Amino acid sequence: MASHAPDTGARILPRLLAVLGQAEDSTAIKYLLSFLQEHRQGEFRITRKVYPDITYLNVHALGISFQLEPSASTTREVERIVTAIDIYNHAPEAFETGTETASKLQKKSDFRPFPTYPVPLATFRPRATSTPSSAPSPSGALNIDPSTSGTDLVRALGEPSRKGGGEGPIGRGPAAWMEWTGVLQIQPSTASSSPTDAVPSSQLQSNVEDPGKSGSATLDVPVQIMVELGGPGSRGPRRWEADSAGQSVWKVLTLSTPASSE
């Protein structure tokens, strides 16, 4: 069972962000997995799937997966760094159409749900080009939990900069997904506790863009947020209507490093 505690949420976000840009054997990944294991009893193992351009590190028992790609800035010829993190939500039958279909897909996916909530996306500031000028201003703050819907995401993060998926039936391609590019602001104090309690600040700083203002109370982290929705409302010709994708609960949350051209 996943744990729900505000203080846990405040500590999980810096750990997740600290992993971006790190190598497979980094301390940041070890700290993150150790932290997640505290909220789920039992052992876990990492499954590696290696392809020419990407490597996946799947930790099924903890509901998380890492995508690693070759680093353009390293002198180590074969080193790959984490460019994206996938977090998996609970998979109730409501995600799919029918108990039998849901059961088959649940067996096909070995991922258990992420073990700790909320995952706070606060405070998110989208890029100026991400939200149409006619759209209402987003709140910029959201604590993601297993019941967070498409409407909750748009209300907090604004209209997505990109969206797609959901054209085909279940099992054929991804369901409806939305993507935002911007920065997450975090409190430095949540990332600078003792090494046994949090990712060391030195690990986080390598991925944090300092606003450059003396005495600033927050750190700005460039990030791309992608959410794949679940349930019958996330597919079909009406998927982008308010009572379809808007009411659908998130299925996979991806945090990634924006491309340099973004």
Q: How far apart are the first and last CA of the chain?
A: 38
Q: Mean pLDDT over residues 238-257, rounded?
A: 91
pLDDT value of position 214: 44
Could you read off the pLDDT of 172-226 as tens digits, one per residue? 678 899 999 999 887 765 444 433 334 344 434 444 444 444 445 678 889 999 9
pLDDT value of position 211: 41
Q: Where are the domains of the chain?
A: 3-208+216-256
The full DSSP string for 189-201 is GGG-S-TTTS--H
Could you read off the pLDDT of 99-112 as tens digits, one per residue? 445 444 544 457 88
Model confidence at 141, in pLDDT bands (50, 70, 90)? Answer: confident
Higher-confidence residue: 192 or 47? 47
Q: Scanning the structure block, which residue is given the tokens 């039936």?
A: 169
Angle in degrees, CA 10, 15, 17, rounded to 5:
100
Cβ-contact 119, 253 below 8 angstroms: yes
Could you read off the pLDDT of 50-97 as tens digits, one per residue? 999 999 999 999 999 999 999 876 555 568 999 999 999 975 544 555
Range list of H helices, the chain: 6-19, 27-37, 99-108, 150-157, 201-205
pLDDT value of position 231: 84
